[in-house]
Amino acid sequence: MNTNDVHRLSISGVTVAHGAEVVVKRATLTVRAGEMVALVGPSGSGKSTLLGAIAGFYPVQAGAIWVGEELVASPTLSLPPERRRIGVVFQSHALWPQWMVVDNVAYPLRRRGMARPAARREAEMMLAAIGMDAFAARYPSELSGGQRQRVGLARALAARPDLYLFDEPTASLDPANREAFMQEVRERIRTTQAGALYVSHQADEALSLAHRVAVMMQGEILQVGAPAEVYECPRTAEIARLLGPAACATGVVHAVDARGWARVQIADSEQTIRLSSLHREVDHGRVSLMMRPEWCELTDDEASLPCRVVRVQYVGHRTLYELESLAGRLLASHTGPPQYQEGERVGWKVRRASVLER
């Protein structure tokens, strides 16, 4: 069997409540062997609760969770966390305070029966991989919060589980360590063919790291897809904005050719746009369009839509413009430093757009 077809995690119709509040609603998701799935969503959308239910910290009200082939949770069954073959790296780590760092990391190996010298050697390797080898002989109380977090990661990696759950593990790491941490995680997933479900609060991290992205809002998983698919063809405006800057406007489609090029009227300007849509053919008539700033340009062209620049944001590699127009708030960007100023009148053109569901 192709390992792509092996599921490390399957959740089906899972509902989780905290008291009377239903926080996760009928969530369905799979993580395949060797796959990293990023779970993204606004704060309070239920991401940590879903991870907690998978890890075995919360019971499920409906649905089922399998780790590999094994049913671990349903309304009538709940395996304890330690029997779920899951490596958990959450924001707060419970390290054993009376043990040195190296022994904390070696613990899961010792528990599997590895001799102490071998377990320590492996633990030291894990610590070196995340830049923590100099801290092996310290105690947890002698570490910063970020350092403790990295020790928690090293311990989860050392356990070699079938599935990793990460809940914003890089939140307290500086950018250089974040990169090393992520590299290590990705390499582990690839070589061990484990799976990982990764909650990230940073859209760019999720998009660049994950094989697939799952978007959660108000307890529901609303869209799952490859990073480019979710970024370029989000189902809704909320999903679009969660993953990066996006402008939305109403357009009227007059004509579409076989290759997806369309004549679209936006306010009083008719533009030729490459239209994409997640599931359906683009029909003539009124549609909701989502446009990334990098799909739009500022120009003096006659066919452009007149705008006024209301905000200029220079971020080093590109300049982002916020614009006011008859079609509402629009965006555009180009590489390099600003070429237009706030208050200036310019024309706006869009080369491509994605049709939203609503």
Tokens for 59, please give them. 């019971």
- C-alpha 105 chain-centroid distance: 27
Task: Determine the Cα–Cα distance for residues 344 and 289; give it in Å rounded to an integer.
Answer: 25
Q: Which stretch binds Mg ion (CB under 5 A): 45-53, 121-129, 240-248, 299-307?
A: 45-53
Nearer to ligand ADP, 24 or 298 (CB): 24
Between 21 and 40, how does the x/- string for binding to ligand ADP read (CB under 6 A)?
Answer: --x-----------------
Whole-number Cα distances in Å, 27 to 30, 32, 59, 216, 249: 10, 17, 14, 9, 30
Residues 97, 134: Cα–Cα separation, whole Å: 18
CB closer to ligand ADP, 199 vs 355: 199
Contact pick of 43, 92, 191, 335 for ligand ADP (by CB under 6 A): 43
Contact 143, 101 (CB under 8 A): yes
The span from the CA of 39 to the CA of 36, in Å, is 10
Both tokens of residue 171? 């939140």
- In angstroms, the CA 212 to CA 352 distance is 23
Asked if residue 48 binds Mg ion (CB under 5 A), the reply is yes
Out of 30, 45, 149, 333, the only residue in the binding site for ligand ADP (CB under 6 A) is 45
Per CB under 6 A, which region of 47-55, 156-164, 294-302, 329-337 contacts ligand ADP? 47-55
Which amino acid belongs to residue 46?
G
CA-derived radius of gyration, the chain: 24
Q: Is there binding between residue 200 and ligand ADP (CB under 6 A)?
A: no
Task: For ligand ADP, give the closer residue by CB, 49 or 200.
Answer: 49
Our finding on whether 41 is near ligand ADP (CB under 6 A) is yes
**The only residue of 49, 104, 177, 223 in contact with ligand ADP, by rule CB under 6 A:** 49
DSSP assignment of 263-277 equals EEEETTEEEEEEEEE
Binding test (CB under 6 A) with ligand ADP, winner from 34, 46, 63, 169: 46
Binding residue for ligand ADP, selected from 25, 32, 33, 48, defined by CB under 6 A: 48
Reading the block at residue 142, the tokens are 């002698």
Core vs surface per residue 249-287: b (16+ CB within 10 A) or e? bebebeebeeeeebebebbebebebebebbeeebeeeeb
Which of these ranges, 41-49, 177-185, 305-313, 336-344, lies near ligand ADP under the rule CB under 6 A?
41-49
Q: Is 49 in the site for Mg ion (CB under 5 A)?
A: no
Candidate residues 4, 13, 18, 118; the one interacting with ligand ADP per rule CB under 6 A = 18
Q: Shortest gap between Cβ of 44 and ligand ADP (angstroms)?
A: 4
Q: Judged by CB under 5 A, does residue 30 bind Mg ion?
A: no
Size of the site for Mg ion (CB under 5 A): 1
- Residue 45 interface partner, choices ligand ADP, Mg ion, none, CB cut-off 5-8 Å depending on type: ligand ADP
Q: What 3-state DSSP class applies to 144? A: coil
* Helices 116-129 and 101-111: angle between axes, nearest 10 degrees: 120
The site partner of 286 among Mg ion, ligand ADP, none (C-beta below 5 to 8 Å per kind) is: none
End-to-end CA distance of the chain: 40
Binds 18: which of Mg ion, ligand ADP, none (CB < 5-8 Å by kind) = ligand ADP
Provide the binding-site residues for Mg ion, judged by CB under 5 A.
Answer: 48
Q: Which residues bind ligand ADP (CB under 6 A)?
A: 18, 23, 41, 43-49
